[in-house]
Amino acid sequence: MRESTNHLVAIVKRFGAPAAIAGAFALGAVLFAGHGNVFASSGNGVAPLDEESTAALTSLDHAMEAVSSRVTPAVVNVAVTAKVDAKDGGNEQMQQIPPELRRFFGGMGGQQQGPQIEHGIGSGVIISSDGYIVTNNHVVDGATQVKVTLHDRRILTAKVIGVDKLTDLAVIKVDAKELPAIAWGDSSKLKPGQTVLAFGSPFGLSGTITRGIVSALDRPNPFADQDRRKPGGYIQTDAAINPGNSGGALVNAHGELVGINTAIVSESGSFAGAGFAIPVQMVRSVSEQLIAHGKIEHGYLGVNLNDITPENAQFFNISDASGALIAQVQPDSPASSGGLKQGDVVKEANGQTVDSGSAFQMAVSQMQPGQALKLNVVRDGKPLTLSLTVGAFKDKTEEAANEGGAAENKGRLGVSVGDLSDDVRQQFQIPARVKGAVVEDVRQGSPAEDAAIQPGDVIVEVNRKPVASASETLSQIHAVPDGKDVLLLVWSHGNASYRTVHPDAE
């Protein structure tokens, strides 16, 4: 995200300033003309509304002003200098700038090779009066120099204390005392519809405040397609978040920190009403460990997770559509050692209700290796209590929490499946331990496509029953009565997940 931020900030610096000046002049001319002509009359003008009529709005204004004045001093601008490899990033960056603007960026892309200097803008939040600041990892990633601009306009050099790529959080520190630190909130108490304010430096414009609501909670990680091990539980908000807001504060109506602004979902790369923030429960846990140890160890179980939904609950004999569904258990993992099995539904973890897979994943990721974990699960409709010991997440080496002839079946599901030959395994990099039928083709607009099934995926189970070949897979699918959904366990790119498919009629 820092790269897109850099591009947009650069464009604003070169073109935004003249446009802003022109806009200011135009606005000034309008005001000047209005002063001389349009609004010269005072006797017959429309009278303003009285205080009683606007009491609710002015009360809201006063509340927002109070929150803003309390929080703004604790939010900083973070300017980063980093080295990037031209052959890896420079040409790609140049392609993202419109052709008519590229002549203004002669230092980017082209035929240059080797490291180049890149400047980025982000935000940060002061979390202690002695200078500790939390921001996003992607803001300071690869930084050779970090400069922090405080609310009082002081510019201080910051040191990177520690980063956590898994959660995309980082802690930096400036040499200063008696700084205005933000108050910690409780993201677990947030409700959709609550007012929130986003603070930061969009496009490098420091001291910016936007207002919105909590649009949704417990959203999947927006970057999970890059690494499914990254924990979710994100806060979604319609408070405007733009490039440069990364690392800034999302606060509640009391001015308490409830999240760190991190991502936007937008085709244009700018505000489109869907911003995402890391919940403060995770932010506080990670930042405290980074300050204490300079690094962080995440809890690890070795499972892939799905949500229990109204569509798949019946297949697991669950009466309510809540819980974390165990889609896969890694061999020789803490989960397998503790007796957790594929198809189990986790309902409680250490006495806390588990509503979804992402909520369970976030809870485990915040636990320390060696901690005891008591799980209340439902297995084939029967309650069961399991006691596990949380392991240590090892980046790169472990898949943490979230890893013949063709036979036609295009009538009901819209897929062609085949046996797992050696050539197929090599082509799609399917491990020998994965059994089932490989998906060779998916019909456009079919139920299989709706369930996000793709060629190269492997159907491992049909309605909770393991399958070992294409013919066995088709036999199980055809055995499902008309009008009934089919639950498939699908292995895809190293991870297994349950997919509920609504078949076409025969």
Of 239, 271, 259, 216, the C-alpha closest to 75 is 259
Residue entry with tokens 């244009």: 268
Long-range contacts of 35-44 (CB under 8 A, 24+ apart): none
Structure tokens at 456: 């190269």
The terminus-to-terminus CA distance of the chain in angstroms comes to 47
**Helices in 76-146 by DSSP H: which ranges?**
91-95, 137-140
Q: At residue 111, does pLDDT exceed 50?
A: no
Residue 470: strand, helix, or coil: helix
Enclosing H/E stretch for 407: strand 406-409
Interacting residues of 481 by C-beta distance below 8 A, sequence separation 6+: none
- The tens digit of pLDDT for each residue in 174-199 reads 999 999 999 999 998 999 999 999 99
Q: At residue 112, does pLDDT exceed 70?
A: no
Overall average pLDDT of the 409-438 stretch: 82
Of 140, 224, 123, the C-alpha closest to 182 is 123
- Greater model confidence, 144 or 273: 144
8 A C-beta contact, residue 138 and residue 2: yes
Of 378, 360, 446, 456, the C-alpha closest to 410 is 446
- The tens digit of pLDDT for each residue in 396-407 reads 433 323 333 333
pLDDT at 115: 59
Question: What does residue 305 show for φ and ψ, rounded to 5 degrees?
Answer: -125, 145
Radius of gyration of the CA atoms of the chain, in A = 27
pLDDT at 322: 87
- The tens digit of pLDDT for each residue in 351-370 reads 888 888 888 887 887 788 88
Overall average pLDDT of the 63-68 stretch: 90
Q: What angle do CA 387, 392, 394 make, to 5 degrees?
A: 140
Q: At residue 3, does pLDDT exceed 50?
A: no
Amino acid at 197: L
Compute CA distances 451 → 230, 402, 413, 500, whole Å: 22, 18, 10, 7
Which residues on adjacent β-strands are paired with residue 214? 237
- The tens digit of pLDDT for each residue in 272-309 reads 778 999 999 999 999 999 999 888 888 888 888 888 88
CA 428 – CA 456 distance, rounded (Å):
6
CA 120 – CA 1 distance, rounded (Å):
10
CA 186 – CA 191 distance, rounded (Å):
11
CA 382 – CA 42 distance, rounded (Å):
78
Q: Which residues are catalytic?
A: 138, 168, 246
